[in-house]
Structure 1
Amino acid sequence: MIRIAVANQKGGVGKTTTAINLATALAATGQRVLLIDLDPQGNASTGLGIGQALRDRSSYELLTGQATLEEAVVRTPVPRLDIVPAKVDLSGAEIELIDFERRTHRLDHALEGGSEARWDVCLIDCPPSLGLLAVNALVAANAILVPLQAEFFALEGLSQLLQTVERIRSRFNPELSILGVALTMYDRRNNLSAQVADDVRACLGNVVFETVIPRNVRLSEAPSHGMPALIYDHRCAGSAAYMALARELIARLPAKKAEAA
């Protein structure tokens, strides 16, 4: 199972929207997908229609050892897409995990102890911070996907995240790679979006995905209906963009693993 952390310490960049819709798009291509909601706000869970009543076991119990991966997994309405939901208890995990042995490897350990063969790809929706929850995701992941809002301060935040990735590589996970940077909330009518995109591509080159995710009302509406935009309105520009991004992502997956899928 390929593990991909969807991470950016800056909030409001479309990270959860990207995680939900990429997971759905990958499932639509035949991949068996596991989405781990590691954000205490639980927006990825809500966006896939997983109500509080279905979150008896969650990523909190998974990290603290109170539940196995199999016990925490919930099936979503999307075929071939499962989720480990999140609930508000996760907000206290940052403090609680301090007392755990190998606290930075809790998620990695939980995934290794589970039936990884059930899924081809695991997406980890990280919280908008670089705290212990995000570190657990980066230690467990094979690669990181960075949603990056096409706005002025994007590069500054990206620089901080890349420094964190280098520290994780040097101390905990030398195999961690950058799968790609996805430009989100792109407004073609705004010259600033084009300028930021040019700057990011000049800085990072081919690391940046060709596909850009546009500002799209249907993408914003879909979570309130408890479904991904690809199901809420598969014809909208946002859905088409995420399908294109999924195709790019699949092309970048390690060849050996991709063939196994």
Structure 2
Amino acid sequence: MKKIAVLNNKGGVGKSTVAVQISHGLSMLGFKVILVDLDGQNDSSLFLGISEKDYNKTFFDLIDKRNDVKLEDCIINARESLDLLPNSHIEEINAEFYRESRIDLILNEKLQGLENLGYDFVVVDCGPQRTRINDSVLCYVDNIVMPVQVEAAAVRACGSIYEYLSDLRLSPDKISLIIPNMYDQRTRDAKENLEFLREFFKDEDNIVTNPINRRVKITEAGKMGKTVFEYDEESAQQFFEVLERLVKKVG
């Protein structure tokens, strides 16, 4: 079972959008996938057309010591071969994780049943910034996919992921793909920032993918609770190219 975090310390880079497209795309390639939504805004759930009225139990119930809840009770089906583990009370989850002495073990304990349920991939949508939840996710996963908005501030800040991993004493080899996102190929600034991104990671075994172009239809799809594979063929093709790289990297 491959475990992937979609993470960037900066908000607004399209992280949840990428997490949803990767998850649905992998399921369409024949893999059984679960998307674990640990972003407090619940965007992954919403982009799949799933809201709070569609579930009763969440990841929070798994760590709430007042409840005796099974992992299966918190999982809902989102698409064929794609399930979702939603969240609630994200600040309380983060506070609870601060009380844990072994942050490197907590997710292995809480999610240990996933492999027995037959999943090929676990994709975790992380919130922005450094949190105790994200600490635990980085200890849990084998691979990190980092979307980076192709604009100056985001590109120049992307190296902070190495500092984060170093602080947790984790290997930088966990970084599997960098996805340039929201790319506007019409502007010189975007082209320069893309080139800077490729140059920055040039020694990292070609981990920078082709960019995902800025398209209104990607935003529209999310607002309608659909993925690009259900809404826009051109956008879907871009993500399939990313998926091909991802499967080769983590396979």
Query: What is the TM-score normalised by the length of structure 1?
Result: 0.88
**Corresponding residue number in structure 1 for 2:74:** 72
Runs of 4+, deviation exceeding 6 Å: none
Q: Distance in 1 between matches of 2:135 and 2:154?
A: 21
- Unaligned runs of 5+ residues in structure 1 are 255-261
Cα 1:59–1:98 shift into 2, 3 Å:
same
Shift of residue 70, structure 1, vs aligned partner? 1.8
Alignment of 1:90-105 (within 5 A): 90-105=90-105
Q: What secondary structure, in the 3-state scheme, does the structure 2 residue paired with 1:12 have?
A: coil
RMSD of the TM alignment (CA)? 1.9
Q: Distance in 2 between matches of 1:186 and 1:13?
A: 11
Q: Distance in 2 between matches of 1:63 and 1:212?
A: 38
Quick check: which one's helix share is greater? 1
Q: Distance in 2 between matches of 1:195 and 1:156?
A: 12
For 2:224, the aligned partner's letter is H
Q: Distance in 2 between matches of 1:175 and 1:149?
A: 21
**Corresponding residue number in structure 1 for 2:174:** 177
For 2:209, the aligned partner's letter is E
Q: What secondary structure, in the 3-state scheme, does the structure 2 residue paired with 1:183 have?
A: strand
Shift of residue 247, structure 1, vs aligned partner? 1.0
- Report the number of matched residues: 247
Shift of residue 63, structure 1, vs aligned partner? 4.0
1:70·1:115 contact (CA, 8 Å) conserved in 2? Answer: no
Q: What secondary structure, in the 3-state scheme, does the structure 1 residue paired with 2:210 have?
A: strand
Q: Distance in 2 between matches of 1:156 and 1:131?
A: 21
Tell me whether 156-165 or 142-151 shows the greater mean CA deviation.
Answer: 156-165
**Corresponding residue number in structure 2 for 1:48:** 48
Out of 197, 201, 222, the residue aligned to residue 200 of structure 1 is 197
Alignment of 1:53-202 (within 5 A): 53-64=53-64, 66=67, 67-76=69-78, 78-87=79-88, 89-168=89-168, 170=169, 173=170, 177-202=174-199
Tell me whether 24-33 or 116-125 shows the greater mean CA deviation.
Answer: 116-125
Shift of residue 3, structure 1, vs aligned partner? 0.2
1:34·1:123 contact (CA, 8 Å) conserved in 2? Answer: yes
Q: Distance in 1 between matches of 2:12 and 2:120?
A: 28
- Unaligned runs of 5+ residues in structure 2 are none
Query: What is the TM-score normalised by the length of structure 2?
Result: 0.91
2:149·2:155 contact (CA, 8 Å) conserved in 1? Answer: no
